[in-house]
Amino acid sequence: MKREVIAIQMGGSMQLVVSLEDWRRNRYQTVEEFTTGLGITPSTYYRALKGQVEISTMRRIASGLGVSPAAIAEFTPTASPGLVRQLTEIIDRAEVNGWIEVDPDTFELTGRRVRETLPREQV
């Protein structure tokens, strides 16, 4: 399975958006251990992996992990057409004016302008 690294801004800091399965694996826990720690059943966990749980369950899982629900890949909502347009405009401007580099470890802005770009996937 192809995994993407996505970061979201939470207040003044950046946070990676991580798959629920990656949260579990990074803790070296079985499904049973992970779900017990979150106060959910394994069947709820498997539904959550498909994004098929109620918002209250998303909040409970995120709280158990100490993150925002938006930091869990399966819970991240689809962007609205308006947001997609905004992001496309921002990317287009960055392609012309250069990107601001971030530190790969902290996601803090370095202030360095980078003009190298990656090819866009065709949507």
**How do residues 42-57 score in pLDDT, each as one tens digit?**
999 999 999 899 999 9
Q: Can you read off the two tokens belonging to residue 71? A: 């930091």
Structural domain contains residue 109: yes
| Single-letter amino acid code for the residue at 8 | I
Q: Can you read off the two tokens belonging to residue 83? A: 């947001």
Q: Give the residue numbers spanning the domain of 95.
A: 81-114
Instruction: Note the pLDDT of residue 101.
Output: 84
**Is 67 found in the same domain as 106?**
no
Structural domain contains residue 120: no
SS3 (DSSP) at 30: coil
Structural domain contains residue 55: yes
Counting the structural domains of the chain, the total is: 2
pTM above 0.95, yes or no: no
> CA angle at residue 102 from 72 to 89, to 5 degrees?
75
**Is 69 found in the same domain as 22?**
yes
**Is 71 found in the same domain as 86?**
no
For the chain, give the number of residues: 123
- Average pLDDT, stretch 81-103? 85
Cβ partners under 8 Å of residue 26, min gap 6: 18
Structural domain contains residue 33: yes
Instruction: Note the pLDDT of residue 5.
Output: 46
**Is 89 found in the same domain as 58?**
no
